[in-house]
A and B are shown apart, each in its own frame.
Chain A
Amino acid sequence: MDSDGEMMSDVSSPDDFLDTQASDDDSLGDGGFGDLDTGFDDDNDLFRQQRNPHEVEYKVLNPAEVERERQDQIAEVSAVVGLSPELAAVLLRFGQWNKEKIIEMYIDYPERTLDRAGVGPVTEGRATTEMIPGFLCGICFDEGDDVESYAMRCDHRFCVDCYRHYLEQKIKEEGESARIRCPGNNCQHIVDSQSVELLLSGEIRDRYHMLLTRTYVDDKENLRWCPAPNCEHVVDCSVKKRDLRRIVPTVQCACSHEFCHGCSLPDHQPAPCTLVKMWIKKCEDDSETSNWISANTKECPRCQSTIEKNGGCNHMTCRKCKHEFCWMCMGLWAEHGTSWYNCNRFEEKSGSDARSAQAKSRASLDRYLHYYNRYSNHEQSAKLDKDLYLKTEKKMTSLQSQSGLSWIEVQFLDTASHALQQCRQTLKWTYAFAFYLARNNLTEIFEDNQKDLEMAVENLSQMFEKPIPELAQLKVDILDKTAYCKKRRVILLNDTAENLKNGEWSFNVEW
Chain B
Amino acid sequence: MASSASNTTQRLLRELKEYTKSPNEVLLHLGPVDEEDLLRWEAVLKGVDGTPYEGGLWHLRIGIPSNYPLAPPTIHFTTRISHPNISFATGEICLTLLTTEHWSPVYTLSSTLTAVHQLLTDPQPDSPLNVDVAALLRDGDLPAWESVVRYWTGEERWQGAGNLGR
Contact = CB atoms under 8 A, between A and B. Distances in A.
A165 B70 contact: yes
Interface string B61-79: 0000001011100000000
B11 A138 contact: no
A234 B88 CA distance: 49
Contacts of A138: 105-106
A185 interface: yes
A470 to B, nearest CB: 64
Listed residue (B4, B71, B106) with the most chain A CB atoms within 10 angstroms of its CB: B106
A108 B71 CA distance: 39
Listed residue (B14, B105, B107) with the most chain A CB atoms within 10 angstroms of its CB: B105
A166 B14 contact: no
Given A166-B70, A169-B71, A139 B18 contact: no
Interface in A398-417: none
A498 B41 CA distance: 67
A162 B104 CA distance: 12
B100 A139 contact: no
B104 A165 contact: no
B67 A139 contact: no
Contacts of A173: 67, 71
A174 B18 contact: no
Interface in A224-271: none
B7 interface: yes
B106 A169 contact: no
A351 interface: no
A-side interface mostly: loop
B118 interface: no
A166 B18 contact: no
Interface string A174-201: 1000000001111100000000000000
Nearest to B18: A141
A140 B106 contact: no
A173 to B, nearest CB: 8
A161 B3 CA distance: 10
A165 B7 CA distance: 10
B20 interface: no
B4 A139 contact: no
A183 B14 contact: no
Nearest to B105: A139
Contacts of B14: 140-141
Contacts of B107: 185
5 contacts: A165-B4, A166-B70, A173-B67, A183-B104, A183-B106
Interface of B: 1, 3-4, 7, 10-11, 14-15, 18, 67, 69-71, 100, 104-107
Given A138-B105, A162-B105, 9 more contacts: A139-B69, A140-B11, A141-B14, A141-B15, A161-B7, A165-B70, A166-B105, A183-B106, A185-B104
